[in-house]
Amino acid sequence: MNNKVAVLVAVSLVAVGVGGYWLGQQRGSGGQGKPPGPTAAAPGPASGGPGAGAPQAVTVEAARVVRAALPQVITAVGSLRSDESVTLRPEVAGRIATIGFAEGQRVQKGALLVRLDPTVNEAEVKQARANMTLAKSKYDRAVDLAKSNFISGQARDEAESNMKVADAALAVAEAKLAKTEIRAPFSGIIGLRQVSVGDYVKEGADLVNLEAVDPLKVDFRVPEIYLKQVRAGQALEIALDAIPGRTYAGRVFAINPLVDAAGRAIVIRAQVSNPDTSLRPGMFARVRLITEERRDALVVPEQALVPFGSEQFVFRVVDGKAQRARVEIGQRGDGKVEIRQGVGPEDVIVVAGQLKLRDGVPVTLSRPAAQAAAGNGKAAAPQASATSGAPVPPAAPDARPANKG
């Protein structure tokens, strides 16, 4: 009995609730008794009003892709070397009698630099010359006697041999005398001497160095992967830490055919003009080897690149929107980078603000010059305001229809 009463009470409560809801709906609809339905959507961004569904434009900076001369360069470090370098040493022992140069001065080829005491050598020359004279007289007499058959042919041959030995002894004595004079083998700048007048020097003792410094050589190494790109005759520039703000032009004239197995590098030798002798052998040099001179390379600012993994991308501005493009880059230098594939000349590339961009996002260019560059129909951009110079936002794209539930 109690269960039946509880069920009746619950049914009554449900009926009262439904009736109250229906009566409220009737009053809200003007009492016309229409069934409830979805109300009209209020106008606004969600109901197809202006700007519905359009992403907000991103302000960026852009630059045009241009053609420019861009040399292909290999950088390396090297050392300057004298064009010719020698340390003068005597070939005979003796005491230094004369020093014919001042340290650090220029000398010409053949100039007398050092003379050893020639007294002993001159005496030896005189002795050898006397022996030669006697041997020649004996030979002449032997020839005359041999014609009259007073001596044998063997005696004549011995006289001839003795004359030749005496002649050779004279030549040796004269050569030793000549070697007491040490002369410059080429023109150059003399170094610092290691001896003084009166010093006794043995064969091979260091006397002084002589350097030919105009032109100079520069030796440097590049990795072996550049083997096909380097050749004799290529131009280069060198800069020196000791002489900042100045560069010197040179040209490659020799490449070592032997690749250095220790460093897997190619040894290259170039020649640099040095008419004012401001460069000196042994100086450290930074080398820029120009392997190719490209006159019409496509160039963009280096900050336009957006790396992703091992690939590089840029954002183009096309019809007022950002468009991502994968590019193949080439040489870098002076804040510029060569684009070999992926963009064309006159394209407008985003150079600042890429982190906020995605494909298809509307963009506003912050530079009036860039906007003017983009206003060629190929990569449209908003124009700058005539009064404030600020860019006018682009027209919003068509609004998407509002959801109808």
Run of H or E residues at 295: strand 284-301
- Give strand pairing partners of 98: 115
Return the number of other C-beta atoms located less than 10 Å from residue 87's C-beta.
11
- Give strand pairing partners of 315: 324
On whether the CB atoms of residues 291 and 236 are closer than 8 A, the answer is no
Q: 234 — phi, psi (to 5°)?
A: -70, 145
**158 token code pair:** 């011995």
Kindly state the DSSP code that residue 400 receives in the 8-state scheme.
P
Strands 200-201 and 235-240: unpaired
Whether the predicted model's global pTM rises above the 0.75 cut: no
- Give strand pairing partners of 300: 337
The position carrying tokens 């043995």 is 202
Q: 74 — phi, psi (to 5°)?
A: -115, 125
103: buried, middle or exposed (CB in 10 Å: 19+, 13-18, 0-12)? Answer: exposed
The full set of domains in the chain, from first to last, is 58-68+295-374 (2.40.420.20), 73-82+211-294 (2.40.30.170), 118-179 (1.10.287.470)
Helices first, then strands: H and E counts in the chain: 4, 19
Strands 348-352 and 58-64: antiparallel
Q: Which residues contact 349 (CB under 8 A, 6 or more apart)?
A: 62, 63, 64, 65, 300, 301, 304, 314, 315, 316, 317, 343
Please report the pLDDT score of residue 154 as a whole number: 85
On whether the CB atoms of residues 364 and 350 are closer than 8 A, the answer is no
**187 token code pair:** 């023109």
Q: Which long-range contacts (CB under 8 A, 24 or more apart) does 34-43 make?
A: 38/405, 41/402, 41/404
Amino acid at 398: D
Closest CA to 197 of 295, 280, 94: 94
pLDDT tens digit sequence for 24-58: 555 544 444 444 444 333 344 444 444 455 668 88
Run of H or E residues at 73: strand 66-88
Kindly state the DSSP code that residue 282 receives in the 8-state scheme.
T
Q: Which residues contact 374 (CB under 8 A, 6 or more apart)?
A: 62, 317, 348, 365, 380, 381
pLDDT tens for the chain, 405 residues long, are 455 655 565 656 655 555 555 555 555 444 444 444 443 333 444 444 444 556 688 888 888 888 877 777 889 999 999 999 999 999 999 999 999 999 999 999 999 999 999 999 999 999 999 999 999 999 988 888 888 888 788 888 888 899 999 999 999 999 999 999 999 999 999 999 999 999 999 999 999 999 999 899 999 999 999 888 899 999 999 999 999 989 999 999 999 999 988 888 999 999 999 988 889 999 999 999 988 777 778 888 888 888 888 888 888 888 888 888 888 887 777 788 888 888 888 788 888 887 888 888 888 887 544 444 444 434 333 333 333 333 434 433 443 344 433
Bond into 215 cis (ω within 30): yes
pLDDT tens digit sequence for 218-274: 999 999 998 888 999 999 999 999 999 899 999 999 999 999 888 889 999 999 999
Return the number of other C-beta atoms located less than 10 Å from residue 42's C-beta.
8
Exposure string of 288-307, with b = 16+ CB inside 10 Å and e = fewer, is: bbebeebeebbbbeeebbbe
Angle between helices 119-147 and 153-178 (to 10 degrees): 160
**260 token code pair:** 């250095």
The position carrying tokens 């290259």 is 268
